[in-house]
Structures are given as structure tokens and as C-alpha cells.
Homo-oligomer: A and B are copies of this chain.
Amino acid sequence: MSTAASANSTAAEAALKLGRQARQASRILMSAPDALKSRALLAMADLIQENREALQAANAKDLEAARNNGLDSALVERLKLSDKALETMMAGLRQIAAMPDPVGSQSGSTLRPNGMRVGQMRVPLGVIGIIYESRPNVTIDAAALCLKSGNAAILRGGSEAFHSNQALAQVIQAGLEAAGLPSHAIQVAGTTDRALVGELVTLTDYIDVIIPRGGKNLIARLAAEAKVPLLKHLDGNCHVYVDEFADLDKANNIAFNAKTYRYGICGTMETLLVHQNIAAAFLPALAQRLIAHGVELRGCERAQALVADMKPATEADWETEYLAPILAVRIVDDMDSAIEHIHRWSSGHTESIVTENLAKATRFQREVDSSSVYINLPTCFADGFEYGLGAEIGISTNRLHARGPVGLEGLTTYKWVLTGDGQLRG
């Protein structure tokens, strides 16, 4: 057997073992009472406090390796388990512990003519795989959300955070043990071998869904290989459309906030669409403000005619998620052209209209086919906390199952529950 083939067969065995153990633990977790799940989460928070030094010592190994590998300082900073980062983890665990358990709830039922009662009960998805890069806080966040929603989880983090993740895995294990929950409820892969990921995404008998968190390249590669369904988004190519009936001050603030709140998040506006009738009154002032803030503008010909310091935009600009201080700008004839542009180029993440006209606002929200559609709000609100979900495992642009920000409920599904007294069919 060649070395590569042998590595693959080892990875296949390792994945199968993780999958089988997770499925077994999932049977118990599915009907575990909330008291136990919350107890485990609170214990994990306490254990982070108690093991602060050990966690930071493990993290120091990752930080040193990162610096030696020439990782840029912003990335090194994201890796760091500072006191503040640990506090945030603990707060997150306690907050998730306090949230209502989504599992077991029923939101109504119907009584059929024959007297049988038909309802739906919310149940966990089963086994969730999380494949993620760099930041070790995902290990705790993902573990907490999966556990609270009654799912077993297999966590496979990136090599940059290997030592940190292994140390956090011990905290997780001790927390599960303190609550008497199965130790395989949350498994952190003990290797960063790439072949393992390839095996996990094909394990349809043992993993019900995989949530990838990381760069577009990672996610595109997983999507190509996966047989297990992925809950994912590739791009956040988000649009703000400023309508002819917009309040121009409001529009200026919304567009500025949508672009500059943070350049690197998926809800950032990447293309601004402006109705031709208000372009001259609206665009120059906003452009000046954005340029003064260091944002580079790339526009269509009509936009360029209104703003001196604007490069020409090409089709590549319409489809690019910059994640950077760059904005594409296009002047459109009317709202239909704006919607057409969005349906042609958007990644289906988040779009917003700015208008004071009720009919146009309503029609935009109805017709635009993205996972979130706003009226008079910046697209950077695309976040589970902002939506009131309490927490977020990620954002999905899938059409099946959960869309947009995914919280605890998105990690559950339902089963039909029918209760009768001997009714027969036929």
C-alpha cells in the first residue's frame, strides 16, 4: 500500500470511529433534559476560569508557531486566548445555558375528523460536523450551541489553533462528565490531517449536517467533495439600493454604515445601486464621505460622471465580495433594474432598499430572493445576535432548511407526532 493510500485508510478509520461514537452519544443527547445540558455548559464556563493558565500556556504554543510561520499580526491576534477572549467564551457559555431549550417543544396541533391529533415536535438534527479555521473561540461556541440543541458534534479546527483546541477539548470533556453526559457528545478531532476532512464530509450514515466556517476556498472545496449536506454560505455579496423616494440623509448614513461598520464581515455592502433620479443629489456627498474614510470607489459610467475620484467598474466588480474598503457603485434606471442587477450578481445573502415609499419597499422585500431582505437598514445587521436569536452558528444561503443567520432552532428539525385511540385507516 502506498503511503498516501495508507494515510487515507487511516483517516477513513478515524472518521468512522468519530462518526460511530457521535451517533451513539446522539441517541442519549436527543432526549437529555435541559437541566443536564445547561449544567454541562455552566461547568465548562467554570472550568475555563479554573484552567485559565493552562489554556493560555497551550495557546502560547500556537501563537509562537504562528509568529514563526510569519502569520500576519491581525491573524495572530485572532488566535490569542487573552483574558478578554476567555471572558467572552465564559459569558457565551452562560448565556447559551440560560436560553430556552428548543428541543421537545410543540407549537400547536390539529385534531383530525377521525379524532386523531396531529402535531410536530422539535427534535435535534442528530450529529453535526463543524469544520473551521483559526479562531479557537469557535470550539467553545460551536460545542455550546450543538449541546444545547441536543446534537452530538464533531469539531475539526485548523492547525493554527491545534494546541488551544486540544486544551479546550479537555474543558469540554470535563464539563460533559460533570453533568453525567456521554463523553462523545462533543468530540474535538485530535489531528489536523486534511484527509480526515475529506472522509468526514462523505460520512452520510453518521453525520447529518456539516457546517463549515472559514474562507471561501475551504468551503468551495468541501462543497465539491461533500455527500453530507452543508449548511453554508460562500459569499456575502450584499447590495443596498437607494430608491428615488429615499430620505437622502437616512440613505447616506445607511450606506456609510453598511460599508464601513466592518469591512471583513459577510453582511458588508459590496455594491451600491442608486436610482438615476436622485443620483446627482445623493451620490457626490456620500462618495466624498466614503473617500475621506479611505474607501475606494469603482463605478459605472454614469456614476463616474458624478464623482471625480472613481475608477471604472467591470463585471468582476459586480460579482466580487471585496471584504475590503472598496465599493462598487451603479446607477440604475429604476427599481426593476436594481432587482435585476441583484438577481444577476447577488450571492443571495442580504440586500436592502432605502425608500420612504411603502409600495416600493413592500415590493422590493417581496420580490428580492435573498436570505435576508431589509427596508431602511444597513446590510451589516446580518447577524444572529442582532436578529434576536441569542447566538449564531453561522449564516446560510442554502434554500433548504435554515436560511440567513442560524441559531439554536436552525440546529433542530421536527418529527410528526400523532396520538390516537385505536383509529383505523380505510
Tell me the A residues contacting B by CB distance below 8 Å. Answer: 27, 30-31, 104, 110, 112, 116, 118, 121, 123, 125-126, 208-209, 229, 231, 247, 250, 253-254, 257, 261-262, 343, 361, 365-367, 369-378, 380-381, 386-388, 399-401, 403-405, 413-426
A416: min CB distance to chain B, Å: 4
Q: A254 CA to B421 CA in the complex, in Å?
A: 10
- The residue on B at minimum CB distance from A27 is B343
- Judging by beta carbons under 8 Å apart, are A400 and B413 in contact? yes
Contact of A377 among B371, B388, B420 (CB under 8 A): B420
- The residue on B at minimum CB distance from A387 is B118
- Judging by beta carbons under 8 Å apart, are A413 and B403 in contact? yes
Q: A381 CA to B343 CA in the complex, in Å?
A: 42
Contact of A403 among B30, B372, B416 (CB under 8 A): B416
A69: min CB distance to chain B, Å: 33
Known: A30-B367, A365-B417. Contact between A422 and B373, CB under 8 A?
Answer: no
- Judging by beta carbons under 8 Å apart, are B375 and A418 in contact? yes
Contact of A399 among B110, B208, B377 (CB under 8 A): B208
A230: min CB distance to chain B, Å: 10
| Across-interface contacts of A372 in B (CB, < 8 A) | 415-418
- The residue on B at minimum CB distance from A267 is B425
A330: min CB distance to chain B, Å: 20
Q: A236 CA to B367 CA in the complex, in Å?
A: 39
| Across-interface contacts of A209 in B (CB, < 8 A) | 399-400
Q: A369 CA to B24 CA in the complex, in Å?
A: 13
- Judging by beta carbons under 8 Å apart, are A425 and B126 in contact? no
- 6 A-B pairs with least C-beta separation: A377-B420, A250-B422, A372-B416, A400-B401, A257-B424, A404-B416
What are 5 inter-chain pairs, A to B, with CB distance below 8 A? A365-B419, A371-B416, A376-B420, A376-B422, A400-B400
Known: A365-B417, A388-B110, A416-B387. Contact between A257 and B404, CB under 8 A?
Answer: no
- The residue on B at minimum CB distance from A118 is B387
A402: min CB distance to chain B, Å: 9
Contact of A31 among B112, B366, B403, B418 (CB under 8 A): B366
| Across-interface contacts of A404 in B (CB, < 8 A) | 415-416
